[in-house]
Amino acid sequence: MTLRPARTATLIPALFILLAIVSLMIDLVPFARHGTAWQALFAPDETRFDQIFYHFSTLPRTVMAFMCGAGLAVAGAAIQTIFRNPLASPVTLGVGAGVELTLTVFLVLAPASLAGWQDLFTLAGGMGALGIVYLIASGRSNASLWLILAGMIVNLLLHSATQIFILFNQQFLDSVFMWGAGDLAQNGWDSTLHLAPRLVIAILAVLALVRPLDILALGDDTANSLGAPVKWLRLGILAIAVFITASIISTVGMIGFIGLAVPATLRFVGYTRSRPLLIMSFLVGGCGLMIIDYVMRQFAATGGDIFPTGAATALIGAPFVILILRKARIMPDGNANRQDHPVEYKIASRHILLSGLLVFLVTGLVTSLLLSLDGSGHLVLTSLDDLFAFTSTIGNRTQRSLAAIVCGAALAVSGTLIQRVGHNPMASPEITGVSSATALTMIVAMVYFGFEGRSDLMLIGALGGIIALFVLLALCRNFNHAPHYLLLNGLALTAILGSVVRIALTHSGTKASMLISWLAGTTYFTRLDEIITVAIITAILSALVLLARRPLELASMGADQAVSLGLGISAFRIAMMAGAAILAAVSTLLVGPLSFVGLMAPHLARIAGFRLAGTHLLGAILIGANVMMVAEWLARNMLYPQQLPTGLIAALIGTAYFLVLSARRS
C-alpha cells in the first residue's frame, strides 16, 4: 500500500467537517437573520411553525444523521481492523440482515411486555449472523475473500427470510419497507435521545480498546505471542461493533456502506493506526451522513417525495467502493491469486448421473403435478372423478411447473457461462448484479414510464442486464485473474441497484404489493405464451453454447493462452456474456431476480464431477430445472392454501445448501 502524503490525508476529514458545518449553517441562516437562531436551537417559540419544525424535526434528524454515520463508521473501522479485511463492514458481513430479520420477527410476533428486550434480540440476531459468516470463512486458505462471500450469502438468505415473513404480514408492509430503506426522518427527540447514550458508551468503549485493536491487526499468531487473549478481545470488540450497528439499524433502518466506505477510504489515504483511524472514522462518518442527509432533505423539500437517506447512502457509497477497488489493490493477502487446493473430482459415470437427473425431472414433474398437500399436511392425489376440474387444475399446475423448470434451465446456463468466462466459481447472474439490473430496468420502465406489456418489459430488462454485465466487465478488465474484484464490484453494483429498486418501490404506490411478490419470484402471474417464448430462447441459446463448448473450455485458461491458441477471446467473451445476460433477463421476468439457481446449479454440477464445458452445461441445466421444480412444488404446497413465491424458496434452498457445503468443507 502506498502511503499518501499527510496533507491529502488530513484534507479529507477537514473537507467533510467543513461541509457539515456549512450545511448546519445554511439550516440556521433563516433564524439567524431574525436573531432567533439560539431560540430555534434550544427553546423554540411554540407559535412559530418554522422554529418548531426546525427544533423537532430538522435538528434531531441532523443529530441522528451524525450519530448514525459516526457509529457505523466506527463499527466498520473496528470490524475491518479485526478481520484485517478492508471490505468487511457491518452490512457486508450479514449483521444488518440479521438485525433486520430478528427485528421484523420481533416487532410482529413478540408480546408488548417483551418490548424492553428488543435490544437484546437484535444484538443476538446480528451476532448470530456474524458468527455464521465467521465460521464459514475461518480456516480457509483465502479467508478474506470467503468472509465477504459468506457475508453476501448470509445476507441474501436472511433477506429472503425477512421477505417471506413480510409477505405474510402485509399490513406492516409499507412501514417495514420505509424502514428497510433507511429513513432518518424524525418527529421529535425521542429516538435520538433513545439512541444517544447507547452510542456514546459503545463508541467510547471501542476507543478505549485501541491498543488491543492494534495488536489484533498484527494477526492472530503475533497477537497471541504478545500475550493478548485473542479470542476474547475479538469477541468483545465485535460484540460492541454489532451492538452499535444493531442499535442504529433498529432505530433508523438499513443504512449501508457508510461503515464500509468511510474506514476503507481513510485507511487507503494513510490512516493505518487504529486510534487516528477510529477518530477520523467517527468524524468523517458522522459528517458524511449529515451531508448526505442534508442533500436528501433538499430533495424532499422540492419534490415533496420521500427519498430515504439509507438508500441514497448506498447509491453514493457503493460507487465509492468501486472507485477504491480500482485505485488500490487493497486485498490484504498478497497472493490473492492463490487458488484453493484442487478439488478431487469424482470421476463418476456422467452418463448415469445425467440420465438419473433426467428421470428424476420427468417423474418429479408428473408426481408434483398430481400430488399436493392439503392444509393439514397430508399428501393428496388429485382426484380423477371430475375430469374437467382435473384437467384445469393440472393445466394450471403444468404451466407454473414449466415456468419454473424453464427458468431453472435458463439461469443454470447463464450462471455456467458467467462462471466459466469470468473465471470465477462464485459468480452468477444473481451475485454479479445482472439480475438486479434486469429487475431495476423493468421496475423503472413500469413505474415511471408506464410500460405494461410483458414482452416489452422482457426486452427492456434484457437490455438493462446486458448493460450491467458489460459495465461490470469493463470495471474488472484489468483484473482478469482476480475473482474477488468481479465479486466485489458485483456486490457494489447489486447494492446500488437494490437501493434504486427500493426508492422506486416507495414511489410505486398500489403496484408495490404486486412488484414485491414479483421480486420475490412468484410464478403465479406467468402466461403460457411467455413461458413458450422463454423456453424457445433458452433452448436456442443453450444449443449454441453447447456447440461452442470447445472455445468455452479454452476461455477458462485465461486470455493470453486462449489467444495463443488461436481464439479471438474478446469477441467470444462478449458473445457469451451477452447470451448469459439475455438468459438471466428472460428468467428474471418469470421468477424474479433472487433465485440463486444461477449460482447453485453450475456449482453443484461441477462438484458432481461434470468437469468439461459441455457436460457441465448439461448437468447444470438438469440440476437447475430439478431444483426449480422442487422449489415450485414446495412453494405451492408448503403452506397451502397460502402460495409462496418460487424464487424465494429457491433462494432459501440455494443459500442453505451453500452454507452447509461451505461449513462442511472448512
Q: Which residue type occupies 73? A: A
Site residues (CB under 8 A) for other proteins, limited to 414-433 = 423
Q: Which of residues 480-539 bind other proteins (CB under 8 A)?
A: 481
CA distances in angstroms from 457 to 528, 530, 589, listed in the order given: 16, 12, 8
Give the SS3 label for residue 88. coil
Percent helix, percent strand, percent coil in the chain, to nearest 5: 75, 0, 25
Dihedral sign from CA coordinates of 560, 561, 563, 569: negative
Is 551 near other proteins (CB under 8 A)?
A: yes
338 binds other proteins (CB under 8 A): no
Q: Is 349 in the site for other proteins (CB under 8 A)?
A: no
Cell 463508521 found at: 73
Taking CB under 8 A as the rule, does residue 665 contact other proteins?
no
Residue with Cβ nearer other proteins (159 or 420): 420
Q: Which stretch binds other proteins (CB under 8 A): 220-228, 350-358, 510-518, 555-563?
A: 555-563
Query: Interface with other proteins includes 362 (CB under 8 A)?
Result: no
Q: Is 557 a binder of other proteins (CB under 8 A)? A: yes
* Max Cα–Cα distance, the chain, nearest Å: 85
Dihedral, 60, 66, 68, 72 alpha carbons, nearest 10: 180
Part in contact with other proteins (CB under 8 A); list of ranges 170-178, 201-209, 266-274, 552-560: 552-560
Among 57, 118, 169, 556, interactor with other proteins by CB under 8 A:
556
Half-sphere exposure of residue 19: CA atoms within 13 angstroms, side-chain side: 20
Asked if 553 touches other proteins (CB under 8 A), the answer is: yes
Contact 340, 601 (CB under 8 A): no
Q: Does 666 bind other proteins (CB under 8 A)?
A: no
DSSP secondary structure letter of residue 304: -
Q: Is 612 in the site for other proteins (CB under 8 A)?
A: yes
User: Considering only 190-198, 210-218, 543-551, 628-636, which stretch makes contact with other proteins by CB under 8 A?
Assistant: 543-551
- CB–CB of 622/357 below 8 Å? yes
Does position 334 interact with other proteins (CB under 8 A)? The reply is no
| Cα 233 to the center of its chain, rounded Å | 29
Looking at beta carbons only, is 110 or 544 nearer to other proteins?
544
Q: How many residues bind other proteins (CB under 8 A)?
A: 26
Smallest gap from Cβ 342 to other proteins, in A, equals 4
Helix 483-507 and helix 309-327, axial crossing angle in degrees, nearest 10: 160
CA–CA dist 245, 264 (Å, integer): 17
Q: CA 58 to CA 63: how far, in whole Å?
A: 9
Based on CB atoms, which residue is closest to other proteins, 175 or 561? 561
- x/- mask, other proteins, residues 171-210, rule CB under 8 A, reads ----------------------------------------
The answer to the question of residue 108 lying near other proteins (CB under 8 A) is: no
Q: Closest separation between CB of residue 554 and other proteins, Å?
A: 6
Nearby residues of 476 by Cβ (< 8 Å), 6 or more positions away: 485, 486, 489
Helices (H) and strands (E) counted in the chain, each on its own, are 28, 2
C-alpha to C-alpha distance for 480 and 457, rounded to whole angstroms: 33
Q: Count the residues in the chain.
A: 666
Nearest approach in angstroms of CB 532 to other proteins is 29
Q: Whole-angstrom Cα distance, residue 293 to residue 19? A: 12
Closest CB 520 distance from other proteins, rounded Å: 35
* Residue 4 binds other proteins, judged by CB under 8 A: no
Instruction: Candidates 106-114, 213-221, 265-273, 337-345: pick the segment binding other proteins (CB under 8 A).
Output: 337-345
**Binding of residue 547 to other proteins (CB under 8 A):** yes
How many Å separate Cα 264 from the centre of its chain?
19
Cα–chain center distance at 334? 27
From 234, 297, 606, 636, residue interacting with other proteins (rule: CB under 8 A):
606
- DSSP per-residue letters across 105-122: HHHHHS-GGGGGGHHHHH
Closest CB 1 distance from other proteins, rounded Å: 18
Q: Quick check: 11 binds other proteins (CB under 8 A)?
A: no
Letters for 560-599 (x = contact with other proteins by CB under 8 A, - = none) are: xx-xxxxxx-------------------------------
If the CB atoms of residues 342 and 453 are measured against other proteins, the closer one turns out to be 342
Measured CA angle at 484 (ends 482, 488), to 5 deg: 135
CB of 139 to other proteins, least distance (A): 20
Query: Which CB sits closer to other proteins, 276 or 614?
Result: 614
Give contact residues for other proteins (rule: CB under 8 A).
339, 342-343, 345, 423, 481, 547-548, 550-551, 553-554, 556-558, 560-561, 563-568, 606, 611-612
